[in-house]
Amino acid sequence: MGEKKKKKVKSIRVDVDKCNGCRACEAVCSAFHAKPRYSSVNPARSRIRVIHDPLRDMYVPVYAGEYTKAECTGRDRYRIDGKEYDECGFCRASCPSREDFKEPDSGLPLKCDMCESDPPLEKPMCVQWCVNEALVYEEREEEVEEEAGEKAEELELGLESLKDRFGMGKVLDALARMEKKGK
């Protein structure tokens, strides 16, 4: 077991009843993560997706979660107030079975990073832009195990998804080209 240390846990509470489907959260998330920052707005690149139920005029904001290499063998099916939702409709995973939470050009997985930036934001962008207060930012401190290797794991996941999509040979070729260009 590793050392215990204090960690700031960030969370966003979603109040579905207050969401009116304006999709400002999707737009600003994509703009904040554009390279260079704010150079484009494309909700397909957003790390939050607002799922719409036209029958009940209900909108459910869903945050992008982890990349999964293979489809899971189970399926989520939600029935809320008698309305059946699409299979996996509220799942947060970036998974091979669907296009959600993938960068449209490269296919790389998208994951909500709570708008990590330097200097840090007071509140994530989607929360700042949600005028209906459907998204509420909260922070708390928790004692957790030391996270040695967490960044390395993130890097490995990114590389693994590239390898799955393009094959190891192409990934290595691209890295070699980048090194040559001195990127």
* Interface contacts to ligand SF4, rule CB under 6 A: 19-25, 29, 32, 47-48, 50, 59, 61, 63, 112-115, 124-126, 129-130, 132, 134-135
Q: Which is nearer to ligand SF4, 39 or 73 (CB)?
A: 39
Q: CB of residue 45 vs ligand SF4: minimum separation in angstroms?
A: 10
Q: CB of residue 171 vs ligand SF4: minimum separation in angstroms?
A: 25
Q: CB of residue 42 vs ligand SF4: minimum separation in angstroms?
A: 13
Instruction: Report the b/e string of 43-77 with b at 16+ CB within 10 A.
Output: bebbbbbbbebeeeebbbbbbbbebbeeeeeeeee
Closest to 61 measured CA to CA, from 51, 69, 53, 73:
51
Neighbours of 114 (CB within 10 A): 20
The conformation of residue 179, written as its DSSP 8-state character, comes to H
Amino acid at 169: G
Q: CB of residue 123 vs ligand SF4: minimum separation in angstroms?
A: 9
